[in-house]
Amino acid sequence: MDIFIPKSFDRASILQLLEDLDATRDVDSVTVDFGRLKYSTPTAMLVAGSKLREWREYRQSCGYKSWQRGIDKYVQAHSYLMHLGFFDFVHIDEGRLVGEAKGSIRYLPITHIVRPQVNIDRDGLEAWYDAILDISRSLAAVVVGAGDDSEALRTYAYCIRETIRNVFEHAEVDECFICGQRWANGEVEIVIIDEGVGLAATLIADSELPDDDERAIRMAVQPGVSRTAIGLGKERNIYGNSGFGLFVLTELSASFGWFVFGSGSAQMIGQKNTRRFESTSFKGTYFGLRLSKVPHSFSSLLDDIIQSGEDEANMSGNRRKASGMSKMI
């Protein structure tokens, strides 16, 4: 049986691929064909890549046969995936290893991020914040092409930081992966995935209602909603979460481009004032965004988004304010 990687390997086309992988988990012999592939984007690379490698690991553990064909280093899209570490990421022996490529102003290769070795009880919460900030700014600087304090660096570093925080503070994993691309027209796409327990398991695990991935995503993007912010109590909220990070990310991304936020069986896609859901299949959580431009004053925009979020939360009876970390740039 054959599975075909789509010609345009992007956010819209990967849902069918995820379905195909689920449908063939227990088929004795399957070949993944890359021959049609002509174009690829970061969100597809990491989301489908994570699914593909989990699929291959499962099949190997069951003794099934998995093959690949059609990989051609002379095809630009294939060479691109080789260089960024995609094939190594999915356990195919082609191209560079994950972390081998250094990146440039045009791309951020697939990069493995590990949890900072910070003991909050011993080192304090500020040390945790500083460690996450250092990681985020260094990754953003690759895409921007400089480490100076530009609006672009502030914007991308904030997006990366808040997504990484969500992984390490909620997903119950010690690693995640990031990939990014900057096009000639200035558009930038960044995606971060984790292969943790999933959003519903952490956000609504203490609820009497059954876990529901779409419901969990809806809750997560509301201002002032966070498991550690509303469910654990102050003594267990060791990271000082206020529940505004994902609200800011989705509002910012939808205003200047689009976002996709998925976990388990559901994903939300946002652009301008539109939010819609699609069915998906992913072990863990992912957040991808594409910004067509950066704001002229990110600081002012952040203040406006947070203020509107606090007003919205207040109207719903939640008087929680955004944390200092959510306001920091």
**pLDDT digits over 93-130, tens only?**
999 999 999 888 889 999 999 999 988 888 888 898 89
- Is the pTM higher than 0.85? The answer reads yes
The phi and psi torsions of 324 (rounded to 5 degrees) equal -60, -35
| Structural domains of the chain, with CATH | 2-89 (3.30.750.24), 107-327 (3.30.565.10)
Task: In whole angstroms, give the CA distance from residue 19 to residue 266.
Answer: 13
Q: What is the pLDDT of residues 240-296, one digit of tens each?
A: 455 678 888 999 999 999 999 999 999 999 999 999 999 999 999 999 999 999 888
Asked whether residue 189 carries a pLDDT value surpassing 50, the answer given is yes
Mean pLDDT of 45-62: 96
Q: Please report the pLDDT score of residue 233 as a whole number.
A: 47
Helix (H, G, I), strand (E, B) or coil at 31: strand
pLDDT in tens, 124-175: 888 988 999 999 999 999 988 776 778 889 999 999 999 999 888 877 889 9
Residue-level pLDDT at 325: 56
**Report for 16-20, 206-210, 307-311: range of highest mean pLDDT:** 16-20
Structure tokens that stand for 29 in this block? 């012999």
32-53 confidence digits (pLDDT tens)? 999 999 999 999 999 999 999 9
Confidence check: pLDDT of 231 > 70: no
- DSSP conformation letters of 187-240: -EEEEEEE-SS-HHHHHSTTSSSPP-HHHHHHHHTSTT--HHHHTS-TTT-TT-
What single-letter DSSP state applies at residue 46? H
